[in-house]
Structures are given as structure tokens and as C-alpha cells.
Amino acid sequence: MLKFFGGIVAGIVVTGVLAWNMAGGLMFNERVSPFGMEETVARIQHNIQDTGNKWTLSGLRNPARAVQSDGGNTLPVMMVEACSTLYSGPILKEDSVRYLSILMPCKISVYKKNDGKVYIGTMNAGLMGKMFGPLVGDIMDKVAADQQKFLVMDPNKPAPQMIVPKPAGESGGGGAGAGSGC
């Protein structure tokens, strides 16, 4: 009997350790881009604008700049931010899930690693949504489907220009597509 319960406890511990180690790989996705930093960012930006479903660009951030201005040395990182009021509206209207506004806007990270390649990092929106019930799950499934369209990198299409936001004082909204935040 002791072996039986010991086996159950060991199984639970092993399952817990595996789940802990794999959680990051399930919640976030990473893929190599076939293009350089600026072209990858530009293609994502233009794909967002072409996807429909009320998606607009809400920002372009360079988190590496703060580290570099503080004297640090880091490889390039750019955050493309987008929002769709079609998806954010129902979440922001519902008191029980409004705290999920912390996840808005949708962010896509484009960064370089020491191997010299450019990578695209995204949150697994579909899986994340399932953790918060049917309303959020349904919405995040749609976000995940659109997000796949954002990441289409067709080498047969000419490289678009990167959309650089105007400074906050000029555009009124602080980012690309000013006034189109969530």
C-alpha cells in the first residue's frame, strides 16, 4: 500500500515539475524571421493594418533603448503594439474580466539574438484566453487567428516601409495610429 501511495505522490511531483518547465513554451511562441529587424517590423505592421477586424497600430516601442541609454549593451528589440476595439470592447465592458486590460494592446516582439538571427515573439493568445472563461476564450481565439495573419512573411511581396510613430505631442496619442488605442 505504501508503494502505491508513494507512486501516486511521485507521479504528481513529476507531472508538476514537467508542467512548470513547459509552461513558458506553451504560453509564448518564438519563430525565426526570414528578414532583418526593420523589414520584419514593417511587414508585421502592414499585415496588422491589412487584417481587418478593426485592428490598428497603437505603438512601436524600443525597450532596448532604455538599457542602452543607461550604459548597457543589448541587442535590438522592438515591440509592435496593436489593438482591435472589436475584441477589446467586450472585455473592457465586463467588470469580471476588465483586469485583463493589462494584456492590451496586443504586443509582438521582434528581436535579434547572439546567433545573428531575427526572431518574432508572441503570446499564445488562444491558450491564454482559455484560462479566463468562455467570453475571453472566444475573443482570444479570434485574436490568435488574426495574430497568425500578422506573422505572414511573404518573400514575394516587396518590403514595405516601417511605420514610425510621431512623438506623443504631435500625434495626440503617443503612437502609430494615434487615437486608435484600446
pLDDT in the model for residue 44: 98
pLDDT in the model for residue 151: 97
On the question of pLDDT at 18 being above 60, the answer is: no
On the question of pLDDT at 107 being above 90, the answer is: yes
CB 98 within 8 A of CB 92: yes
Q: Render 41-85 in DSSP notation, one character per residue.
A: HHHHHHHHHHH-TTEEEEEEE-HHHHHHHTT-----EEEEEEEEH
pLDDT in the model for residue 103: 86
CB 81 within 8 A of CB 41: no
CB 163 within 8 A of CB 48: no
Whose CA is closest to 176, among 94, 74, 56, 75?
56
Predicted confidence (pLDDT) per residue in 52-95, tens digit:
999 999 999 999 999 989 988 899 999 999 999 999 999 999 99
Ordered by start, the domain boundaries in the chain are 27-153
Whose CA is closest to 143, among 107, 115, 117, 175?
107
98 against 6, higher pLDDT: 98
Grid cell listed for 25: 513554451
The third-level CATH classification (topology) of the domain covering 27-153 is TATA-Binding Protein (3.30.310)
Categorize the per-residue pLDDT at 170 as very low, low, confident or very high, splitting at 50, 70 and 90.
very low
User: What's the pTM?
Assistant: 0.80
Categorize the per-residue pLDDT at 174 as very low, low, confident or very high, splitting at 50, 70 and 90.
very low
Question: What is the dihedral angle through the alpha carbons of 150, 75, 69, 101, rounded to the nearest 10 degrees?
Answer: 30
CB-CB neighbours of 3 under 10 Å: 7
CB-CB neighbours of 174 under 10 Å: 16
- Residue 102 is which amino acid? I
